[in-house]
Each structure stands twice: as structure tokens, then as C-alpha cells.
Structure 1
Amino acid sequence: MRDLSKLVKAYDVRGVVGEEIDADIVREVGAAFARLVGTSVAVVHDMRPSSEPFAEAFAEGVISQGQDVVHVGLGSTDLVYFAAGRLDIAGAMITASHNPARYNGIKLCRPGATPVGQDSGLAEIRAMLEDGIPVHTGAPGTVAHRDLTSDYAEYLRKLVDLNGIRPLKVAVDAANGMAGHMVPIVFRGLPVEIVPMYFELDGTFPNHEANPLVSANLVDLQNKVREVGADIGLAFDGDADRCFVVDETGAPVPPSAIVALIATRELAKTPGSAIVYNAITSRAVPEIITEHGGVPVRARVGHTFVKALMAERDAVFGGEHSGHYYFRDFWRADTGMLAALHILAALGTTDKPLSTLVSEYTRYAASGEISFQVHDVPSTLAAIEAKYDGAEIDRLEGLTVRLDGNAWFNLRPSNTEPLLRLNVEAPDRDTMAGIRDEVIASIGASNS
């Protein structure tokens, strides 16, 4: 029996091309997924060198089980969510998102863009891959090619009122990823001057990795914003489902501030609605949601948990500190492009610079996410918990410790990498730094 534990992750299938994943495995995943969902499947792929052949292999697997494929072609991950929602069929995106060039993978969803994770289908797919996929004895399915990018762009623009916004100069760093293909389509016709950066599709990422969560990957955008006098800078990850923002001074805008900003806009349209936020989002987010008449709902980190809670509470919006933004009007799926349109609409209807606008949603000092490789994650978490015995503690997501004066920190295992991640927040930078350094020292002591 094959061991696929390194390939089948919590939320997707992902591995090193040629070592952990190849066209044969992708074909088998397509067949297993077709058996799991029992419906047609929309297939989209990104710009990595292996993505187009992997998309073809996945489609072959699906039709081998008698299901049809709608081959949408090149696009972002939220394009496959659009296809799954609009056509009411399952979806598969060939991408490794923000991972380095040597990786590739598959993100999956059911009809209506309902997520497929470890507890909602990936475990069954892994079991089929390990045990062998039954042979389908009926007729094979068919493949139809369909371009949905214009429909997708039109749909997004209908969800955000951009009429009458002032002209904006927008620097966009696509990191040679799918935003270079999608941004010109989505922003077409808006009063926006795009200053493009790395729009050439290149899955080897020759300029920098397509992971804007890493501060080093924002430096080029920060410099460009200052150089050209842009009103705002936008950075997307490789599959363009996450959007990060830089203000007119070149300073990164905390994703929690973006969550709060979009939440207030959605609450203005649907007063009293629930808004989902994850366990490492700033404390300012639930405060602002409550102040604007909404109902804050705290979720575990990860799209399957956020989407499930959104469905359960009929939430109008959900946001994560990692730059994922989810919209009820977009089948509760995450879309960085729709988030970007909301930010442009908010900025374009005020004379304030972005730095002033977002300061209204930033109340605390945050460390940003700091990652550690540790010998033993459970014992490290237990040691940290023991050190803070007496503090308010919860384990919704890893270990969250609430301290006096609205300060807190969270330590959680990564769902996608063998890492322990730390986030710290406090009312001021000095207090935050003191807590951060104390926890880092404790982690070091636990692993010495």
C-alpha cells in the first residue's frame, strides 16, 4: 500500500513534482474525485510548467469514471469556485498556490463551491488511491472547453458598487502568478491606472516567490508604490486567491484591518448579519463588527472551518488574517479579487489616503506570524501552557493565551507545513514585543 501522507494535506493535494506528485497520481486523483462527487467537474489550472499537463491528466481520470469535464483552462482558484457555483458542478484547481516552483497540487470543491477537506472527502480520496480505484465499466465522460473569465469578471463587478469612485493609481504585484492574467480582465473599464509588476506568467517565479505573507516578497511593491506615487499597492499569491495591501507610504496594511473594513461594508448592506473571523485575527475585528451591529463568530484557521461556520450562521462575510476573504454572495468561497474591489471602492469614495482610512480599523500592535521548527509540537504547546498557568486559555486553534490588558498570543501547528506558528497582539508595540520575546525564549527552552 502506498503512503500518501505527505501528498494529501488538510485542505488539498500538494507535493514536489516528480517526487511526490506526477501526472499518473493526478489522473488517479481525478478518477477518485469523480467517484466521490458523482457529478461533472470544472477544471482550471495555473501557470506552473506542470499545471496544464496535470489538468489534462486530471480530466482523463474524471472521464474514465463516466463523469463529464468542463475544461475552463487558465485561471485563478476563485475562477474554479465561480464555475462550481455558477454551473452547480464540482471543481478542481491545479495549483500549489504560494508554494515554491518545485511544487504543484490540486484544490477541490463540490458543487456550489462547497469545500473538500480532510474530513469532507480527502480522506476518502486517499483511501481510494491507496487501495486501488475500481474500474468503471460504463461509457466514459466527455470534455467540453469553456471560457468563463469574462462571466467571472462581470459577476464580481456586480457585487461591488464602483460607480463614481475617484481615479486611482494602483500598483499590482502579480509575482508572475495568475493575477497577471486575471487583474486586467477584472479591472477593465474601471477608473484605475494599473502599474503592473511581474504580470508575465512564469511558474518558476523568477522575481520572487508568490507568497505575500512573507514580508521580503512585498519589498518590490512597497518600493514601486513610493516610486510612482500610487494610491495603493496590491499583492497576490500564485493562484490569486489571496490579496495583500500596501498603503500609499509603502507600509503593509494588516489583513485584520482589511477584514474589519470589508465587514463594515457588508454590514451596511445587510445589517445585523453574522461575520466569521478566525482565531488569530486581531481583537479589533470582533469589536468593530459588534460596534457596527453585526454578530462576530470565531472560527478555526482554514477555509473548510470558515466556510462551514458561514453556512451554519448564514454569515455574509468571513475573513482570515492570512489574507483569505470569503463572501456569501460568492458561494461562501474565498476570492482575493473581490476583496480588492471592495478596498478600491472604499478608497475611491473618500478623499482620505489609504493609511488614514485603514487606521480606523487598526487598534492593536501585532507581531505578524512567526514560524518555528520544533522537535515535538504537543510537548512544546504543553510546556508553554504550563508556563502561563492561571491565564485565560482556549484551544479552539492550537493554544491561545489571553493576558491582562487585551494582550494575547496564539501558538498553532501549521496545517500545511511542519511548523509551529506564533501570533502576538497587545495594545502597544513595547508590550507586544515583550510578550513575543518571552514566548520565543520559552519555545527555545522547550526545544533545547
Structure 2
Amino acid sequence: MQEITCFKAYDVRGRVPDQLNDDIARRIGRAYADVVKPRQVVVGHDIRLTSEAIKAAVTEGLLEQGVDVYDIGLCGTEEIYFATSHAGMDGGIAITASHNPKDYNGMKFVREESRPISGDTGLFDIKKLAEQDQFTPAAERGQWYPLNTSEAYVQHLLSYVDTASLKSLKIVVDAGNGGAGRVVDLLEQHLPFEFIKLHHNADGNFPNGVPNPLLPENRVAATAAVRDHGADLGLGWDGDFDRCFFYDEDGNFIEGYYVVGLLAEAFLKQQGPARIVHDPRLTWNTVDIVQSLGGEAVQSKTGHAFIKERMRLENAVYGGEMSAHHYFRDFAYCDSGMIPWLLVAGLISSSGQPLSRLVAERMAAYPCSGEINRTIENPMAVLTKIEAVYRDQAESVEHVDGLSMSMGEWRFNVRMSNTEPLVRLNVESRGDQALMKEKTTELLALIDA
């Protein structure tokens, strides 16, 4: 039995062809069919050079097991989510490796209603069957059909804003040669915005670097373009555009934490008291905003499968992670990289205030370190050591996701990566930038010791 190493906690991701290839992809397709037992499955692929071949192999595996396959072609991951729920399919598979290096590829899986399939909900059952490679073909082979949900998807995106009240904003969009440019073009005819397009065309060679705006070097072009063009807003996405990143009118990159608060506020003002789900890494700003508007802030473990499950449980209208994943009840509780910027453009239009003004008060009230990663041999030992150092002065200690400790005027979360020997640190304070920086330095000294 050949071990397949490309299965991660939430999806499949590996180097082509040694960790993921057509043979492995076909087996994964067959295994998905045997575990999920779907009748109809949506498939689609991102802009990577190997994606069409991997998709063809997955499709063949599904067809062999008697599953009808509906192919939406080139797409972002969220378009698989949309098509699965919109068309009432039994599941969906996106061929994508998001922001990984260009020689990688992968898959993201959902079942009916776009419910995520992760390590806790069947992903490793699929892995086991794919490794065993002992399948009985279906008595009747499945059928392949093309499917076009683009128009319905665009109309759904537009339903989150009142297009008639939008101002004629100038917006820099940096698709990073990923998939976002195509959807911006589809939306453009319906919106009063002037788009300045950077790295707009999809190109799996990634001539301007892997599309990942979390890397500071990948923000330079967007920052410069916002300033050079006097734009009102700047946007960036990762390769499969399920994450959206913001630059204010001065070209400054805005931490995803403050965007979570901004979108929570928008939903609560629009819909009245509701539940908002957030992750444990940075919390005070979100909780403060939600409670002040009569909502209920609900904390969930970090990770899309956990957030989505908790949102369904709570019937939450919105969920946000500081990593720039934003989830919406009316989008099958899934994450979208398009809905957030439409909402923010709507807020800028309705408030008459620039993005910097919309977040300035919150950034001053709860300054944060941003996520700092360190490669560590024994992450668990580091978390134990940190808890021992601060235990006596802590007002609260939580282990929802890693270690969260509050000392009254400042708090931190430190957690282990699901996939790498990393610890990830986030620190925030109540209105005290100097204290936040001092404690960040203090914690890093403990981690690095």
C-alpha cells in the first residue's frame, strides 16, 4: 500500500508529481465517491498549470464510481462552494493549492450544502481508501456535464450591497496573477468603480511571485499603485481568492483583525442583534464591537471547518478570522474573498469616510502585534513554559486553541501550526501601543530562548 502524503488537516496539498499526480488524483476521486456516496458532484480548477490534468484525473475517478460530474471550469474555491449549494449538488471538489509554490497543487472538498470535509469529518477515510486502491467500479459509469453558474454567482455577490448607493470609487485590484481578476471583470459592468488592475491576468507561472499578500514583498506594487493613482482603496487576494486583503487610501496594509470588526459592525447595523463567530487569536476589538451593538460574540477554534461548523450551530450571520477568511451565513456559511470588499466599498460609500478613518479608532483602542511565526523544535514545551511564567498574573487562561492568557490590560494567544513545526504568536492591548510592543518582545524572548 502506497502512503499518500498530500493529505493535510483540512485539504489535500502536495508537490506535483511526487506527492500528487494523475494516478493519486484518480484514486482520490474514487475514494471520495465511496466515502461521501454522492450522485452529483461539482468540480472546478484554479489557474495552476497542472490543475486541468489533476481535475481530469479526479473526474475520471468519480465517473468510474458512477458519479455524475458537473464541471464549472476555471474558478475560485468559493465558486465551488456556491455551485454546490446553489445547484443542490451532493458535493464539490476544487482543484487548487491556493498560495503554495507553483509546483504544488491540491484539492478542497465539500459535501452537500457545501459542508466542509476535514480530518474530523471524512478526509482521512478518503486518504485510507485512496492508499488501499481497491475499488469496485460502479455498474453504470457516471456522466460528465458542463455547468455555468457564473451569472448566478455574480448576482449573489451583488446582493450584499445596494449598487445604486455606491460612490464612484477608484480601487486598485492586485490579483497576483491568480483567479480573482476574472471575477472582478464580471462584477465591473455592474459597479460604478474605476479599477486599476495589477497582475490581473491568470498565469500559473506566477511571473510576479506566488499570490500571497501576507508576504510583505507582495504588497509593494499595490501600495505604490494606491498612492500613485490617488485610489480610495486597494485590494489583494491569494491564488484561489478565498481570502481578501485591504489597503487604505494611503496604501497602508490593514490587519485582517480590524476588517473582522468592521464587517461584524456592518452586519449588526444592517440586520440588528445577531451572533458573530470569531477565532481566539485576537478578540477584544471584535467582542467590544459586537456587544456594543447588541450582538453576541461566539469564539471558535481557528480553522475553516471549525468556524463553519460553529456558525451553523449558532446560526451566526457572519464569521471572521484575522487571517483574512470571512464567512457568511447566506453564502452557505462559507468563506468568500469577494463579498468582504463589496461590503467595505459599501461602508466607504455610505459613511463618506475613507477606510483609514473607519478602522483608526479601533486600531488605537486595541493595538495588535499581527501574527508572528517562529520555527520551534518542541512547540508544546514552549507553550507550557509560557503558561508557567504568566499563570500567577493572568486574569483568565484558555486552551480553546493553543494558549490564550489575559492580563487585564493586555492579552496574547500562542498556538502551534497544524502542519508545520511553528508557533504563532498574537498580542494585543487596551489602547497601549507601547505595552503591546513591550510584551510582544518579552514573549518572543521566551519563545526564542
TM-score, with length taken from structure 1: 0.96
Q: 1:417 corresponds to which residue?
A: 420
Q: 2:388 corresponds to which residue?
A: 386
Q: Are positions 1:53 and 2:53 aligned together?
A: yes
Q: Are positions 1:106 and 2:107 aligned together?
A: yes
1:350-385 CA-to-partner distances (Å, cap 9, x unmatched) read: 321221122244321111111111111211211222
Tell me how far apart the structure 1 counterparts of residues 267 and 391 of structure 2 sit (CA, whole Å).
Answer: 39
Tell me how far apart the structure 2 counterparts of residues 63 and 360 of structure 1 sit (CA, whole Å).
Answer: 55
Q: Is the 8 A contact 1:237 1:243 kept in 2?
A: yes
| Deviation larger for 305-314 or 214-223 | 214-223
Q: Are positions 1:297 and 2:298 aligned together?
A: yes
> How far is 1:3 from its partner?
2.8
Identify unmatched segments of 5+ residues in structure 1: none
Q: 2:180 corresponds to which residue?
A: 179
1:198-224 CA-to-partner distances (Å, cap 9, x unmatched) read: 011112211122111222221211111
1:177-232 CA-to-partner distances (Å, cap 9, x unmatched) read: 00122111123220000100001111221112211122222121111100100000
Q: Is the 8 A contact 1:63 1:140 kept in 2?
A: yes
Q: Are positions 1:311 and 2:312 aligned together?
A: yes
Q: 1:21 corresponds to which residue?
A: 20
When residues 416 and 193 of structure 1 are mapped into structure 2, their CA distance, relative to the original with a 3 A threshold, is farther
1:301-360 CA-to-partner distances (Å, cap 9, x unmatched) read: 101110011010100000000000000010000001011111111112232122112224
Tell me how far apart the structure 1 counterparts of residues 426 and 133 of structure 2 sit (CA, whole Å).
Answer: 42
How many aligned residue pairs are there? 443
Q: Is the 8 A contact 2:282 2:428 kept in 1?
A: no
TM-score, with length taken from structure 2: 0.96
1:224-280 CA-to-partner distances (Å, cap 9, x unmatched) read: 100100000000111011001000011112212211111122122332211101111
Q: 2:333 corresponds to which residue?
A: 332
Q: Is the 8 A contact 1:274 1:317 kept in 2?
A: yes
Percent same amino acid at aligned positions?
Answer: 38
Q: Is the 8 A contact 2:375 2:421 kept in 1?
A: yes
Tell me how far apart the structure 2 counterparts of residues 131 and 414 of structure 1 sit (CA, whole Å).
Answer: 29
Identify unmatched segments of 5+ residues in structure 2: none
1:403-432 CA-to-partner distances (Å, cap 9, x unmatched) read: 231x11111112243321111112322111
Q: 1:37 corresponds to which residue?
A: 36
Q: Are positions 1:63 and 2:66 aligned together?
A: no
What RMSD in Å do the two structures reach over aligned CA positions?
1.3
Tell me how far apart the structure 1 counterparts of residues 98 and 295 of structure 2 sit (CA, whole Å).
Answer: 32
| Deviation larger for 117-126 or 212-221 | 212-221
Q: Is the 8 A contact 2:380 2:416 kept in 1?
A: no
Q: Is the 8 A contact 1:7 1:13 kept in 2?
A: yes
| Deviation larger for 431-440 or 200-209 | 200-209
Determine helix, strand or coil for the equivalent of 1:372.
Answer: strand
Structure 1 letter corresponding to 2:16: V
Dislocated runs of 4+, deviation >3 Å = none
Structure 2 letter corresponding to 1:246: Y
Q: Are positions 1:430 and 2:434 aligned together?
A: yes
Q: Is the 8 A contact 1:75 1:149 kept in 2?
A: no
Q: Are positions 1:400 and 2:401 aligned together?
A: no
Structure 2 letter corresponding to 1:432: M
> How far is 1:443 from its partner?
1.1
Q: 1:274 corresponds to which residue?
A: 275
Tell me how far apart the structure 1 counterparts of residues 153 and 362 of structure 2 sit (CA, whole Å).
Answer: 30
1:107-145 CA-to-partner distances (Å, cap 9, x unmatched) read: 000111111110011011111122234212411101101
Tell me how far apart the structure 2 counterparts of residues 166 and 290 of structure 1 sit (CA, whole Å).
Answer: 30
| Deviation larger for 93-102 or 313-322 | 93-102
Q: 2:233 corresponds to which residue?
A: 232
> How far is 1:295 from its partner?
0.6
